Structure 1
């Protein structure tokens, strides 16, 4: 009888962490409205042409799944819309995708650098005051650049390109217990083979809903993305997308 009680106690002790671990499974869904100021330019070689781009408000959406299984990374997927229109008066001849535009041409450009991040990461620290995640991101860029002469609309060029770029991922969160206020900083970085990407965002957060079933957090911050491509499918760029954003995150 005593052996049975001991075995039952040991079994309960072993099963208790497993039962509580199930409650650690979390799904995060978020969305942001990002006001983008775009600077820089592009070309088919190192002679980049900079454009005067408009400001645009674009969306960014993400979903993340965290679990208690040791050694198996958590997963985060984010889609970011990055598209803008620009205009420049060429100071010299410019050739793009086989089309040559003469100096003094008013050249309009429409570019789309929208991308999807696939991130695998680990929680290295996690408490109410501070948490830190680290991992790797594979950024899937599926872009398109269009150029058209405003002097002669029949003179135009269009080019699409795509590729995957691996990046280092880091995400730090800070909280003020009992207040609902917090902050976070998130980044993706890497420089290799002539390509350089630096992406970060910082934000203040406030928990408007926090209970056992669902949490809802508001975000207000600033985001920056710099993309320097060196012959990615024949495309060279040095582009900056920067500006404030507002968002919401729901945690189930």
Structure 2
């Protein structure tokens, strides 16, 4: 499912305060009802579309260990897709095709991204945990526009470096907790924010497996500046539900 692993190096001046005494494997999945807005173009002047809400899925696996200095690893996979349309106020040229003003055109985005994250546990106890690291986000997408018997399609791909952070606070004796997680980049004209906050509930907690339910809100902002001649200014946001297993 994952195309390749990337050799990443994480430099840190802070060591984890406490780590699992044994190897810990985390596997999770989320379903996300995402509302999309914004647009794209081959130039900085993007054309906005009215996009449909979509239910999207994401998956992740993480491996944590007690060895100092060596980071933990997390790999996640996300598919972003939506369709929309607009009536052009002015002519729009995309992928070599020009759509005249007044034309109603459709837009289709299909983008996969795989995150390779190396991180340290700065704090890790029964009440508070805090992770910090870096992510390489491998983006691979296709944009399609259609209208007035014309069709234009263009692919784009690239690797985007991001900062990664995660905080979790547990409420003793309740099984409840709160969690916040995000990836961030603001470099030149490229901006990418992907963050979420959730309430968690420990449904199962024993020596064999822990199961945690999640209910939260996620925001994904994608502002690309000339990735394979693609410019985007798009935002996805909405409620998600998820489950995580810890072996």
TM-score if structure 2 supplies the norm length? 0.91
| SS of residue matched to 2:224 | strand
Distance 1:29 1:178 in 2: 24
Q: Which runs of 4+ in 1 moved over 2 A?
A: 21-24
Q: Is the 8 A contact 1:208 1:216 kept in 2?
A: yes
Distance 1:236 1:168 in 2: 22
Q: What corresponds to 1:50 in structure 2?
A: 48
Q: Within 5 Å, which residues of 2 pair with 1:77-226?
A: 77-149=75-147, 152-153=148-149, 155-226=150-221
Aligned residue among 38, 58, 69 for 2:36: 38
Distance 1:76 1:70 in 2: 17
| SS of residue matched to 2:167 | strand
Q: Is the 8 A contact 1:128 1:176 kept in 2?
A: no
Distance 1:94 1:142 in 2: 24
What runs of 5+ residues in structure 1 fail to find an aligned partner?
1-20
Distance 1:231 1:246 in 2: 33
Q: What corresponds to 1:245 in structure 2?
A: 240
Distance 2:210 2:20 in 1: 17
Distance 2:232 2:31 in 1: 25
Q: What corresponds to 2:5 in structure 1?
A: none
> What's the Cα RMSD here?
1.0
Larger radius of gyration: 1
Q: What corresponds to 2:224 in structure 1?
A: 229
| SS of residue matched to 1:72 | coil
| SS of residue matched to 1:103 | coil
TM-score if structure 1 supplies the norm length? 0.89
Q: Is the 8 A contact 1:113 1:143 kept in 2?
A: yes
Q: How far has the Cα of 1:24 moved from its partner?
A: 2.2
Q: How far has the Cα of 1:22 moved from its partner?
A: 8.0
Matched, 1:28 2:26: yes
Distance 1:198 1:126 in 2: 25
| SS of residue matched to 2:172 | coil
| SS of residue matched to 1:46 | coil
Distance 1:138 1:31 in 2: 20
Q: Alignment length, in residue pairs?
A: 229
What runs of 5+ residues in structure 2 fail to find an aligned partner?
1-18
Distance 1:38 1:78 in 2: 21
Q: How far has the Cα of 1:200 moved from its partner?
A: 0.3
